[in-house]
Amino acid sequence: MSGLRSFVARRLLLGALQTVAVVLLVFALTEALPGDAAVALAGDQPDPARIAAIREAMDLDRPAYERLAGWATGLLHGDLGTSLTSGRPVAHYIADGFGPTLLLATLTLALLVPIGFGLGVLAARHEGRLVDRLVSSVTLAVYAVPEFALGVLLVTVLAIKLAWLPPTALGYGTDLLAHPAALVLPVLVLLSRPVCSLSRLVRAGMVDALASPYAAHARRYGVPGARVRYTHALPNALAPAVQQLARTVDWLLCGVIVVEALFVIPGLGTVLLNAVAERDVPVVQGLAVVFGVLTVVLNLGADLVAHRLTPRAGVAA
Amino acid sequence: MTTRRRFALGLGVIVVPLVLALLGPLLTGEPGPRATSFTLGGGHWLGTDFVGRDVWQQVLLGGRTVVVTALAATALAYLVAVPVALMSALTRVRWLEELLMRPLDVLLAVPSLLLILLVASVLAPGAVGLALLVALVNVPDAARIVRAAAGEAAARPAVEALRMQGESRWRIAVGYVGRSALRTLAADAGIRLTGVLYLVSTAAFLGVGVAPDAADWAVMVDRNRTGLFVQPWAVVVPALLIVALTTGTNLLFDAALEKNQTDKRGRRP
Amino acid sequence: MHDERFPGLRRRGFLAATTGAAALALVGCGGGTDDKAAGGSGTPKRGGRLRAAFAGGGASETLDPHLANLFADVARAKALFDKLADYGADLSAEPRLAEKWEADKGLDRWQVTLRQATFHDGKPVTAKDVLYSYRRIADPKQAFRAKASLEPIDLDASRATGERSIEFVLKRPTAEFPNILAAFGAYIVPENATEFDKKPIGSGPFRFVSFTPGRSAVFRRYDDHWDGAPLLDEIEFVVANEESARVNALLGGQVEYAHELNPTTARAHEGKGQIEIVRLRNSAMQAFCMKTDRAPFDDKRVREAFFLIADRQELVDGALSGAGEVGNDLFGKGYEYYAADLPQREQDLDRARALLKQAGAEKLKVTLDTSAVAAGFTEAAGIFRDQAAKAGVTIDVKMGSKDSYWSDILDGGTLSCYRSGAMPIEAHISQRLLTDSTTNATKWQHKDFDALYQQAQATRDKTERAAVYERMQRRLYSEGGFLIWGFADWIIGTAKTVKGVETKAPANTLDWARFDKVWLA
């Protein structure tokens, strides 16, 4: 167990370094983008004198490393800084966007895990037969349909033609829980791709595990099929699927821009998109910190799961 | 279903997009005059696209870049990811594993589109550069999944046995561990190919790689979406071709795996 | 003066489409404020809440009217605040808070009298409020958008001559002074107001109720508005950046008004009875901008050749999906002073080739800058590239960053995509075509042209002034740097119940996005 603890400690330390690297990378890349916040704000009226005035008002005339240092010092005191464009605290931006994003991610995940694993196991059980073929090809085809097309299709049929559900979450603000009907379509669209990728990985892992010598052994010794499947084969199939799941959660939390735009849900993806367009560097950096930490934690979680699963593979055989 | 029939099915599905992609450019003539965008009729039997061009002609022209860029980028991603993942799964040196995998996590933490957008606007790459960039974005993700699948196989006693029998690391890696991870890899590759396709088209719209009005199936799906209700063919036809391409590729993969394992074991459980 | 091009942040997903079949009355036949074509039938009814969806600016949005940058900002600002004047359908200034204006002989001193109006807190709108607002905009430490528009006013010398009368002292004769009063963003706020997001006070037809940046703003009818109380009880502005979301919300009954729709959407729903489609003609000038101070466009024969390369109808059909009209290389079709008598230019590839040969520019290679910054830009660039190829000109289309595009093309490159929202022709000239213009993207710098502009501004008689504007436009028509190929419609969707939406006002004018005369049946 102490091995595990030191593993976690080492990974957390590495994670902190990674987050710093992410922030530096994002800062460098944002700085390298053509134009800055002043140019973006001046928009279609790029009068050089006006841009210079905005630049001065935003303190953009200071060298980049000074601005980065100033921001980092603030961060050490728990201050994420203020937006260049509006002067409001970055923390507000993140807090406002996080609620809807978290809600959508949680709901999607709660449905994704049973459906994804269920379909994967179902296909693996009937490997090579009609059910398997059906699941495999349908998931692949659905995966190839762009999200926006699926979204538009669902909205047109379920919201506009049949009027069963509201077409967007427009005007509901952040209190989406009060309007559960508005969440159905976004969650469906969000589910469409992860379900496909997850179930395919689960199926592949399960088929492999069921075909492995230890499963054959277990069967020969009279272990019931269901037991072989769920206590021996499934855990072995999990490792890649868990990695995929971590990536999915990451994707759900770091902003699902298409779905947010299509259904007017003001989540983190929208905040990020706007911040990059406005060259609002403090907001972009604040988000980079949040995303960096989330990714590190999620990947660590996935690795821990894999860490626990992998030795078992050896024991079971 | 026999393996042979599965091959036939895969081939049947993939043959249309492949033939269109490879021979399409040879079949088109000079581009005709443009018409109003998103209209039907007027000699355009699939209507016109978002800039008034003939959709059928764009379909004929648009397969090659998709097939070449997307396949190349996907292949390239695995070319890097698989060795890294196998090495990290088989090594017993902890720091080596960390050295191989952790830098990838940094890349993973930056949303891929943001990364492409940022790097591309700094370096302004062409089509080859774009393929490299898309491949780069996919490496960490692919590596983690392959690593996880291979890690499971590498922990099996069989590997230990092989090691004790004095098998070379190379043979263990490729011959046993790599082979066990093959199915997961194939499942992952199928979806990754699709993801890459659309990433290329989104990048095109952002001004990276191919032109925003390029004849390219994925770009067509993306750019013609505004006309979905007026002129659906401009989206539906290229989208179906992409579906056929990816589904077909996967069916062939599956069939090949099947054959491989049947040959190896001689029976199915 | 005022820059009224379509402001910022165009998101992907906007595209053009549709043959402009809807036969709407010609723009430019007077004020037209009384023609409410969209459902002008029936008697106006009071009451109800209207929800209007606009593309917006996300969490950075503000209600500070002087910071208005996007359409959503302007729509909110004009509900809460008033300007001294605003633009009619032909882009001539109409009095609003100003009751009348009068110039002295030299046209450099103007007496403006305010009408009796009150702010939402009951205080009257006075000369002091006006001077405070203008001084705030012109503050050299700030960078408000309207600052450049107010430049001709000497605010230190201008003064209040009474409770409701102001004497504006100008730095030079300015016959079109009323245009300044109507400038984009020149809203009147109460004296000493600095904070607008908590509880802004204006004199506009609606008063503040609530505001969440990037999401929603709710305003309530102001019963004592000088122009009569609005018919609606409440108006809610909601933000939806994706066009399909605005359409879906409209179809699904979540909003009653959706701003800025695609031509294809319009075509899909026009005449189907579900929603009403309103097309505001002549709203967005579409152009290619040639830098006249550098090769190859420093030769006017090359410029003329490019004028002749363009197949304008193909550009309108392809890039705007037919939702617009062809242009004649002159800004402001249908606006006051527009030189409508010049012959419509047509594609003439033989003559273009001959001109290029004369100029020694055969096998010409040019880079065309474009970006996804505005609808139709990338489309137009691709179409023009193919047209130019027929005249032996190789155009290399270069996609730029949409966030810094306008700044990048101001001084860089040689050929770029360009567009502009509605503004008076005089403002177009003063902002873009004079030697010291701040956004002179064609690098059109000619002393004699500047002199003509000054002459127009010093001419009191309107007919004489029109003649001077015509001379300037003739010059631009024959050798200017703007290849203006079209004017795009601005498309709005409304629910069937919404009545009284003006159909002839180009975007940016008074009656566009105006909700105090709208009612729900």
Report all structural domains of chain B as residue ranges with CATH numbers, in order of start. 3-267 (1.10.3720.10)
Å between A273 CA and nearest CA of chain B: 9
Please check the confidence at residue C494 and state whether its pLDDT lies above 90.
yes
User: Using a CB-CB distance cutoff of 8 angstroms, which residues of chain C are in contact with residue B203?
Assistant: none
Query: What percent of chain B is predicted at pLDDT more than 90?
Result: 0
pLDDT digits (tens, 9 = 90+) for A11-68: 788 788 878 888 888 788 778 777 788 888 887 888 888 888 888 888 888 888 888 8
pLDDT above 60: residue B266: no
Q: Which domains does chain A have, with CATH numbers?
A: 93-278 (1.10.3720.10)
Q: How confident is residue C3, by pLDDT bands cut at 50, 70 and 90?
A: very low
CA distance C5 to C85: 18
Going from the C-alpha of A262 to that of each of A178, B120, C10, C440, the distances in angstroms are 20, 26, 16, 38
Is A146 an interface residue toward C (CB < 8 Å)?
no
Contact list, A196 vs chain B (CB under 8 Å):
191
Residues 91-130 of B with CB under 8 A from A: 98, 102, 105-106, 108-111, 113-115, 117-119, 121-122
**Nearest Cα residue in chain C from B31:** C386
The per-residue pLDDT for range B126-181, each reduced to its tens digit, is: 677 778 888 888 888 888 888 887 777 777 777 777 777 777 777 776 777 777 77
User: Are C240 and A48 inside 8 Å of each other by CB?
Assistant: no
CATH 3.90.76.10 location in chain C: 83-182
- pLDDT, residue C66, reads 93
CATH architecture, domain defined by C282-489: Roll (3.10)
Residues of chain A with Cβ-Cβ distance to C418 below 8 Å are none
Using the predicted structure, report yes or no on whether residue A283 has a pLDDT greater than 50. Answer: yes
Q: Which residues pair with C86 in a beta bridge?
A: C94
Q: Report the CATH fold assignment for C83-182.
A: Dipeptide-binding Protein; domain 1 (3.90.76)
pLDDT surpassing 70 at residue B259? no
Indicate the residue of C265, C372, C386 with minimum beta-carbon distance to B205.
Answer: C372
Kindly report, residue by residue over C109-120, the tens digit of the pLDDT: 999 999 999 999
Instruction: Check: CB of residue C307 under 8 Å from CB of residue C483.
Output: yes
pLDDT digits (tens, 9 = 90+) for A86-97: 888 888 888 888
Tell me the residue length of chain A.
317
Quick check: C338 pLDDT over 50?
yes
Neighbours, chain A (3 or more CB pairs < 8 A): B, C
CB contact (8 A) between residue A146 and residue B247: no
Tell me which chain B residues have a C-beta less than 8 angstroms from the C-beta of C378.
212-213
The reported pLDDT for the residue numbered B210 is 65
Contact A208/B at CB under 8 A:
yes
Residue C50 is predicted with a pLDDT of: 95
Q: What span, in angstroms and rounded, lies between the C-alpha atoms of B176 and C475? A: 79
Per CB-CB distance under 8 Å, the chain C contacts of B212 are: 372, 378, 382, 399
Predicted confidence band of residue C465 (pLDDT cuts 50, 70, 90): very high
How many Å apart are CA B46 and CA C349, to the nearest integer? Answer: 30
| HEC secondary structure over C384-414 | HHHHHHHCCCEEEEEEECCCCHHHHHHHCCC
**Is a pLDDT exceeding 80 seen at residue B264?**
no
Choose among C13, C314, C372: nearest Cβ to B226: C13
pLDDT for the residue C17: 29
Residue C330 contacts residue C361 (beta carbons within 8 Å): no
Å from C389 to nearest chain B CA? 13
Cβ pair C337, C426 in contact under 8 A: yes
Cβ pairs A/C, distance under 8 A: 157
- For chain C, give every residue range classified as CATH 3.10.105.10: 282-489
A136-153: average pLDDT: 80
- B90-103 pLDDT, tens digit per residue, is 776 777 777 777 77
Contacts of C141 in chain A (CB under 8 A): 53, 57
DSSP string, A286-303: HHHHHHHHHHHHHHHHHH
**Chain C: closest CA distance from residue A40 (Å):** 5
Contact C273, C23 (CB under 8 A): no
Q: Which of residues 104-163 of C touch A (CB under 8 A)?
A: 140-143, 145, 147-148
Q: Which of C205-209, C259-263, C327-331 has the lowest mean pLDDT?
A: C259-263
C31 near A CB under 8 A? no
Interface check for B232 against chain A (CB to CB < 8 A): the answer is: no
Mean pLDDT along residues C83-94: 94
Whether C351 has a pLDDT exceeding 70, the answer reads yes
Residue B5: pLDDT over 80: no
Taking CB atoms and an 8 Å cutoff, what residues of chain B touch A144?
Answer: 194, 239, 242-243, 246-247
B264 touching chain A per CB within 8 A: no
What's phi and psi for B68, nearest 5 deg?
-70, -55
Which chains share 3+ C-beta pairs under 8 angstroms with C?
A, B
Phi-psi region of C302 (alpha: psi -120 to 50; beta: other; left: phi over 0): alpha
Count Cβ atoms within 10 A of the Cβ of residue C167 and give its class: 0-12 exposed, 13-18 middle, 19 or more buried: middle
| Residue B209: count of CB within 10 angstroms of its CB | 27
Express each pLDDT in C375-426 by its tens digit: 888 889 989 999 999 999 999 988 887 788 898 899 989 999 999 989 999 9
CB B218, CB B228: distance < 8 Å: no
Give C-chain residues touching B31 at CB under 8 angstroms: 386
Q: Give residue-wise pLDDT tens across range B172-216.
A: 767 777 777 777 787 788 778 878 877 776 666 565 666 667 778
**Helix or strand (DSSP H, E) at C98:** strand C98-103
Cα C257 from Cα C254, distance rounded (Å): 9
Cross-chain Cβ contact A143/B157 below 8 Å: no
- Token representation of residue C429: 């000239």
Contacts of A314 (CB under 8 A, 6+ apart): B155, B156, B157
**Residues of C (364-383) whose Cβ lies below 8 Å from B:** 371-372, 378-379, 382-383
For residues B109 and A296, give the distance between their C-alpha atoms in angstroms, rounded to a whole number: 8
How do residues C214-270 score in pLDDT, each as one tens digit?
889 999 999 999 999 999 999 999 999 888 889 999 999 999 999 989 888 888 888
B37 touches chain C (CB under 8 A): yes
| Chain A residue numbers touching B188 (CB-CB < 8 A) | 197, 200-201, 240, 244
Report yes or no: A35 and A274 within 8 Å, Cβ to Cβ: no
User: Using CB atoms, which residue from A18, A216, A243 is nearest to B145?
Assistant: A243
pLDDT band at C29 (very low <50, low <70, confident <90, very high): very low
Q: What is the pLDDT of residue C432?
A: 93
Contact (Cβ atoms closer than 8 angstroms) between residue B39 and residue B55: no
Q: Is B2 on the interface with C (CB under 8 A)?
A: no
pTM summary value: 0.84
Residues B9-63: pLDDT tens digits? 888 888 888 888 888 888 877 777 777 778 787 778 788 888 888 888 888 888 8
Residues paired with residue C371 on neighbouring β-strands, in sequence order: C400
What distance in Å separates residue B204's CA from the closest CA in chain C?
10
Question: Is there a contact between C148 and A45 if contact means CB atoms under 8 Å apart?
Answer: yes
Q: What's residue C34's pLDDT?
A: 40
User: Is A49 in contact with C438 (Cβ distance < 8 A)?
Assistant: yes
Q: Please answer whether residues A292 and A18 qualify as being in contact, where contact means their C-beta atoms are separated by less than 8 angstroms.
A: yes
Name the pLDDT band for B117 (thresholds 50, 70, 90).
Answer: low
Which of A144, A200, A295 shows the shortest C-beta gap to B109? A295
CB A43 to CB C408 under 8 A? no
Size (chain B), residues: 269
Give the pLDDT score at B112: 65
**Best residue of C198, C242, C259 to probe chain A, by most A CBs closer than 10 Å:** C242
